[in-house]
Amino acid sequence: MPASKSAVLLRIYTEEGKTSGRRPLYEEIVLKARDMGLAGATVLRGPMGFGASARIHTAKILDLSAKLPLVIEIVDSEPKIRAFVAQLDAIQDLGLVTLEKVEVLHYGGSSLS
């Protein structure tokens, strides 16, 4: 088994209805991460949540709005994640952004740079 490696987990908490130009915000972020050569990105959709407004967003049938919570997760080396976060500063109303140190135990057939 390969030795573990230190990395950083970037989490962006937002909602599916937010856009960046003509494209969904989550799509813009994932494509930017790919363009910058990050190891990968995953978008997770939540059936229920609330944010700073304390307004509940839910996936109930009667609530047809596209305001469900999304979490975008990206793991890579700290320098690459911090460079990526700097690129996100231009995005208005991004949402909550967090970083935490993680230990990568296994990463497919590749390695994190």
**Do 70 and 44 touch, CB atoms closer than 8 A?**
yes
Task: Please give the model's pTM, rounded to 2 decimal places.
Answer: 0.84
User: Which range among 4-13, 37-46, 82-91, 104-113 shows the weakest confidence by mean pLDDT?
Assistant: 104-113
What are 20-64's pLDDT values in tens digits?
888 999 999 999 999 999 999 999 998 788 777 787 777 665 555
Dist. CA 18–CA 66, nearest whole Å: 9
How many domains, in total, are found in the chain? 1
Query: What CATH number is associated with residue 69?
Result: 3.30.70.120
Give the CA diameter of the chain.
50
Specify if 70 maps to a domain.
yes
- Which domain, by its residues, includes 83? 5-102
Specify if 28 maps to a domain.
yes
Specify if 111 maps to a domain.
no
Query: C-alpha distances in angstroms, 80 versus 38, 47, 48, 55, 83?
Result: 7, 31, 31, 34, 5
